[in-house]
Amino acid sequence: MAEDDTSTSPKHANARSLDLDIGALLISERLVGEILGWDLVDWSAIEPHQGRKFSFGHQRKKDPSIYEQLKPLFDRCDHDKKDFSALKPSPIVNGSLTRLVGSLCHHIGMQELTLPESDGSSLKRTVEQDQLHIGVVERVLARIEASAQLRKRAELLKQVAAAAESELEKHFADLINGRLENSFLPGGHLDPNKFNSLRDQARCRVDEMRLLNERELVDLSKPHPALDDDALIRIEMARILLSRFPYVRNYELMLLAELTMLQQPLTPRFAPEQMLAAKGWTMSTALTERLDQTIAEIDSHIGSALESKGPLSLQDEGRTIAICGSGPLPMSALFLHLLTKTRVVLIDNDQEAVERSRRLIANLEMMGIIRKNSLTVLQRRADDVIFRGTQGPTVSTSDMEVACDVVLIASLVDAKSKASIASQFMANSCAPELLVMRSATGLSAKLAYDPVSTETFSCDNLVYCGVTVPATQVATHLNRVEAVHRRVICAASPDVLAIAHPDVVNTTEVYRRIPDQKGRLNLHVEAFQTMEDWIEALERTARTLGS
């Protein structure tokens, strides 16, 4: 079926719109069945349309849903002892997690339309695909909100997925460490023959990618990290050694987008545009223009307080990032170090996770893939750690202090700990400049990860600046006003500092600590009744700061 051209008659356009609505209905019900249970599908809505070209697809009515596959295993776990080994990798667990990630990462809008295909590496959905994608997400979210049983299953599925993800990382940390120690480091000594073979393999892959102009960084993240041949070879060696973990590439792609975000101008936004949608405000082009102009004025005034420091560059020697909730298989920390010159402090309260990550780091240090003493693992509760910027005193007064430039909080860190860490940035003038929190939106926020509560983590001196968003979760053919009305994220929003690859599930929000501004801003959106009131308050603050 070809795309309609500009001469499409109103009759055909209306028919096409109806087809899109029916397609969204069928796909959304299929997702409900596939993920949460076929017994909860609204079959009465589906049956009248079974004969249409938007068929229900490869119906899996007889197969258990993802929820029905995983819940019995979750029930067998010892929750009091935090023993979730029943969810360790197995054909059932692996298959269910693959189906869940596929449901969240898919270009939903491409499933049922016979339209020109996209390579999936960038935002190339057509208008119709975009509309279908938005319609499916809206319907699934509405179905979950309207049903107490669906809400309960969706919330439980998040807990199951988190436990299964932890068991997955533990399993592959043991597997990878065992391979390194048995094959490359027998008896604690490096086998030069196997190491040289690995390095030659990595060098060949780098050379091949260079010849093809496909160094795997092209078109994924800009500006690209400045990497020499030795760094590229070490990255490729790490990829080879870690490749048994099924989501290693997802982590690398997510981190590339986050690095791109951190190199953008970090303008205080005070609230994401999704919060404007949640307020139900009427947004217009005129209000949008006033908002952008006023925020730019405020940023020009408060940004001067940080100009003397220069822009944050993770390529500079001496930069440090702390990662809270680093886990047993610290993919983010490893690739962060390999892609930049950054030191990384890993923080996790789970003793087993700490032991596994220390073991992996020690093995990779012995092989020369990561530099010694560049990655440090601390067993701590993240909300007990005192974070301070590197511009303050250089001597720590407590083993609970961590000096760093950026704090990154993983998705699975609980909301209470996230709030506690954010409160440090609000109250402590010596805190680091940037706070980065992995979050979720759309279906991911309902079915996989808890979203960050932006209004809770914002105050007058810690302000929201923007977000990275997976390509599958961005509306590509809506302007900002339409996107706010539809309660979705659009590519034109100044909130979007980077767009991640479609294989990424998480969003990532960045907050900036504004020094010497306490008590002078108080401009976060939840305190106002209308958008006009909010913008007027922003304008008054811009005038005050300017004077």
Q: State pLDDT tens for residues 344-354.
A: 999 999 999 99
In this predicted structure, the answer to whether residue 21 has a pLDDT above a threshold of 50 is yes
> What's the rounded Cα separation, in Å, for the pair 133 and 104?
12
pLDDT of residue 143: 95
As a whole number, mean pLDDT of residues 465-485 equals: 89
Q: State pLDDT tens for residues 381-437.
A: 998 999 998 876 555 567 789 999 999 999 999 989 999 999 888 888 788 989 999
Closest C-alpha among 488, 489, 493, 462 to residue 292: 493
pLDDT, averaged across the chain:
84
pLDDT of residue 7: 46
Q: State pLDDT tens for residues 118-176.
A: 333 445 678 888 888 888 999 999 999 999 999 999 999 999 999 999 999 999 999 99
Share of residues in the chain with pLDDT > 70 (%): 83
Task: Look at residue 409 and give its three-state secondary structure.
Answer: strand
Share of residues in the chain with pLDDT > 90 (%): 48
Residue 22 confidence class, pLDDT cut points 50, 70, 90: confident
Q: CB of 339 within 8 A of CB of 236?
A: no
Comparing 358 with 225, the larger pLDDT belongs to 358
Q: State pLDDT tens for residues 60-92.
A: 556 789 999 999 999 999 999 889 999 999 999
Residue 462 confidence class, pLDDT cut points 50, 70, 90: confident
Closest C-alpha among 399, 367, 138, 359 to residue 234: 367
Q: CB of 427 within 8 A of CB of 435?
A: no
Q: CB of 162 within 8 A of CB of 348?
A: no
> What's the rounded Cα separation, in Å, for the pair 165 and 451?
17
> What's the rounded Cα separation, in Å, for the pair 314 and 335?
13
In this predicted structure, the answer to whether residue 211 has a pLDDT above a threshold of 70 is no
pLDDT of residue 503: 86
In this predicted structure, the answer to whether residue 219 has a pLDDT above a threshold of 60 is no
pLDDT of residue 312: 60
Q: What pTM was computed for the model?
A: 0.89
User: What burial class does residue 493 get, using C-beta atoms within 10 Å of its C-beta: 0-12 exposed, 13-18 middle, 19+ buried?
Assistant: buried
Q: At what angle do helices 192-211 and 229-242 cross, to 10 degrees?
A: 110
Integer angstrom CA distances of residue 538 from 161, 296, 481, 533, 535 = 41, 11, 19, 9, 5
Residue 454 confidence class, pLDDT cut points 50, 70, 90: confident
Residue 40 confidence class, pLDDT cut points 50, 70, 90: very high
Distance linking the first and last C-alpha atoms of the chain: 61
In this predicted structure, the answer to whether residue 336 has a pLDDT above a threshold of 60 is yes
Integer angstrom CA distances of residue 514 from 68, 241, 544 = 47, 41, 16
Comparing 263 with 2, the larger pLDDT belongs to 263
Residue 309 confidence class, pLDDT cut points 50, 70, 90: very low
Q: CB of 374 within 8 A of CB of 337?
A: yes
